[in-house]
Structure 1
Amino acid sequence: MTFRQAILFSLLQGTTELAPVSSLGHGVLLPLFAGWTGVSRNTQFLPFMVALHLGTALALLLFFWKDWWSLTRDTLLSLFFSSRGGDRPETRKNARMMGLLIAGTIPAAVLGFLLEKKIRILFSSPAVAAAFLGVNGFVLILAEYLKKKGVSGSLGQLPMSRAFIVGAFQSMALIPGLSRSGITMVGGLLNGLGHEEAARFSFLLSTPIIVGAGILEVPKLFRQGAGGMLHLAVAGGAVSFVAAYSTTFLLMRYFRSFETERALAPFGWYCLCLSVVAGIWLALH
């Protein structure tokens, strides 16, 4: 992988990871369109891409640092220091929110651990990525029509069982072409959340999954003797961080502005169009 290729992958990943358009799907199709198929078949490609995800995770942690600080602090207060403010309503609310995040993280964490090898096979298939990008687009559009009209519920009202269901939606993003943020937002919308709350829950849910994937994959860069790839991963992670932070800022403003509109539909149509283009490309090549 050249430095130019690494930067392009990083910009693409940082921009599309949090948008509901599937960074994995784009990461598979970029080598196809650019003629870099040898790069994507390299055994160090997936660890490199996960290193880029760590840049995304750092961007999410920085953007939502106040949320994570409050959630962690109040959960500890609620569990161990009830006599020192742990029984306050706001503290209990944040502790419950942490419980929702844990419940929502379980499905993707378990399935990711069990299906790691199969994911590697799917990751190298442009046909699968193209097909599921189309599925992703269709689901985003359909969800806007199926969501409850006039409902904009809050996370504080979300039952624990429904948080688990939203997490199950997130686990579908293990398939390249299905967007983690998009499919998780769909789960949130279908369970009564508004666009902004669904996006916030999606971003918070994705953070531990992305960090966990990095902890598992990045060490493989060292074990495989990828000294040259390591400096590309560091540079790419920095680029991915800047792109992801900017994208998060813009998306949160977007979903806040279009709370009652079909905000996911434009992303859905984009995915459908890209799926068709990729399908035609594969058929002609």
Structure 2
Amino acid sequence: MTTLQALIIAFLQGVTELFPVSSLGHAVILPALLHWALDERGITFLPFLVMLHVGTAAALLLYFWRDWLAIGAGVLGLADPLHVRESRHILLLIVVATIPAVVIGFAFESLLRALFGTPSIAAIFLMLNGLMLFAGERLRGRAAGRADRPIAELTIIDALIVGCWQCLAFLPGISRSGATMTGGLLRGIDHQASARFSFLIALPVILAATASQALKLHHAHVGFAALQPALLGALVAGITALASTAFLMRYFREHDNWALSPFAIYSIIAGAGSFVALRVF
């Protein structure tokens, strides 16, 4: 992997991990379109992948530090009784929403990984991602009477359903944030609250994926030279992810009526265009 390739992949990870357009789908499709011969079994690839996730997780932790601090203070009882109850409930929601992804990820890792190396399949799923986002916007009206619910009013069932939506992101081309936001919209919360909950539950999922890869890295013999592109990738991914999060939270707050539609259009066009290009060229 060249330095330029590392920078492009890290930038792409920082943007598409949080934008509802699938980081995994882009990571599968782009190298194929550019005819990059990346060795995913090479000594530098695993630490690079681990550090990309570390950079993204650090960005989410930095942006939402007030949320996590408030949750932590409430869980420890360092607040008024109402805040303590809310914080403990929100933490429970995050845990419940994370469970399906952890279970599915560990149970079907080998089966799901078989799809990662097929760019044309990722392109098809990217198109389906766009249709999912459109459907979420259209079906949102059916959650009438529950619109604009705060996160603290979500139930355990709501969190479990959103967590199940999150599992769709194991398919390359389906966005994790897009799937969880769609699930949130269908449970009666607005785009901004859906995005906030999506990003909050992203942190434990990303950390779990990082820990899984780090265990493999622990058994590999990796020198400092192999870690240099990984450290550069973590920095770029982290900065990009932080900027992406700040942009998206403001965007979703200001465009609640149709916020997912531009990403839906992009996913369909990018998926269709990539599928044609991969088949023709």
Q: Shorter-normalised TM-score: what interval?
A: over 0.9
Q: Corresponding residue for 2:236?
A: 239
Q: Which amino acid aligns with 1:215?
A: A
User: Stretches of 4+ moved more than 6 A in 1?
Assistant: none
Q: Which amino acid aligns with 2:242?
A: Y
Q: Corresponding residue for 1:62?
A: 62
Q: What is the Cα deviation at residue 218 of structure 1?
A: 2.8
Query: Does the 8 Å CA contact 2:54/2:207 hold for their aligned counterparts?
Result: yes
Query: Does the 8 Å CA contact 1:51/1:218 hold for their aligned counterparts?
Result: no
Equivalent-residue separation in structure 1 for 2:32 and 2:42 (angstroms): 14
Query: Does the 8 Å CA contact 1:136/1:268 hold for their aligned counterparts?
Result: yes
Equivalent-residue separation in structure 1 for 2:50 and 2:153 (angstroms): 34
Matched, 1:188 2:184: yes
Equivalent-residue separation in structure 1 for 2:264 and 2:39 (angstroms): 28
* Among 259, 264, 272, the residue aligned to 1:268: 264
Q: CA RMSD in A?
A: 1.8
Equivalent-residue separation in structure 1 for 2:253 and 2:279 (angstroms): 40
Equivalent-residue separation in structure 2 for 1:208 and 1:179 (angstroms): 17
**After superposition, what is the alpha-carbon deviation per residue over 1:143-198, rounded to whole angstroms, capped at 9, x for unaligned?**
10100276222112111111110011011111110101010000000010100000
Matched, 1:49 2:45: no
Map 1:70-219 → 2, pairs under 5 A: 70-77=70-77, 88-148=81-141, 151-219=147-215
Using a 3 Å threshold, how does the CA distance of structure 1 residues 178 and 229 change in structure 2: closer, same or farther?
farther
Query: Does the 8 Å CA contact 1:28/1:40 hold for their aligned counterparts?
Result: no
Q: Which amino acid aligns with 1:69?
A: L
Query: Does the 8 Å CA contact 2:46/2:217 hold for their aligned counterparts?
Result: no
Q: What is the Cα deviation at residue 42 of structure 1?
A: 4.9
Equivalent-residue separation in structure 2 for 1:154 and 1:38 (angstroms): 44
Q: Corresponding residue for 1:250?
A: 247
Q: Which amino acid aligns with 1:20?
A: P
TM-score, normalisation: structure 2? 0.93
Which deviates more, 27-36 or 146-155? 146-155
Q: What is the Cα deviation at residue 119 of structure 1?
A: 2.6
Equivalent-residue separation in structure 2 for 1:125 and 1:201 (angstroms): 31
Which deviates more, 172-181 or 246-255? 172-181
- Look up the SS of the partner of 1:153 in the other structure: coil
Over the matched positions of the two proteins, sequence identity in percent amounts to 42
Using a 3 Å threshold, how does the CA distance of structure 1 residues 12 and 85 change in structure 2: closer, same or farther?
closer
- Look up the SS of the partner of 2:205 in the other structure: helix
Using a 3 Å threshold, how does the CA distance of structure 1 residues 31 and 40 change in structure 2: closer, same or farther?
farther
- Look up the SS of the partner of 1:143 in the other structure: helix
Equivalent-residue separation in structure 1 for 2:221 and 2:116 (angstroms): 22
Q: What is the Cα deviation at residue 223 of structure 1?
A: 2.9
Q: Which amino acid aligns with 1:108?
A: A
Equivalent-residue separation in structure 2 for 1:27 and 1:249 (angstroms): 23
Equivalent-residue separation in structure 1 for 2:203 and 2:264 (angstroms): 23
